Amino acid sequence: MKRFVAFVLASAASLSMAYAAVNLNTATVEELDAVKGISPAKAAAIVDYRTKNGPFKSLDDLKSVKGFGEKSVAKLQGELTVDDSAPAAKKKTAKK
């Protein structure tokens, strides 16, 4: 019984990690590549852009990266974030 409970808890923990938004400012190429809709080339472009231009301030900044437009950013909205503690859209309003 203890093994079963441990298995259920481990499964639940891994599922929650699988559905967590990936942070554009901290993710590696491999982590970004794991997101549906981001190829290895696009993942590398995100990291290169971040290295050259600094952290993303909002998810809309992703449109500045080659290969990402309005539609692709809209599709990735729930998959990506720029802040671990707040949704990307709300981060802008928190600053004054």
Determine, yes or no, domain membership for 9. Answer: no
Model confidence over 12-66: pLDDT tens digits? 444 434 557 999 999 999 999 999 999 999 999 999 999 999 999 999 999 999 9
Tally of domains within the chain: 1
The pTM of the whole model exceeds 0.75:
no
Q: Flag whether 40 is in a domain.
A: yes
* pLDDT of 36: 94
What is the 3-class SS of the chain, one letter each residue? CHHHHHHHHHHHHHHHHHCCCEECCCCCHHHHHCCCCCCHHHHHHHHHHHHHHCCCCCHHHHHHCCCCCHHHHHHHCCCEECCCCCCHHHHHHHCC
CATH code, 25: 1.10.150.280
For residue 46, give its domain range: 21-88
Report which of residues 16 and 71 the model is more confident about: 71
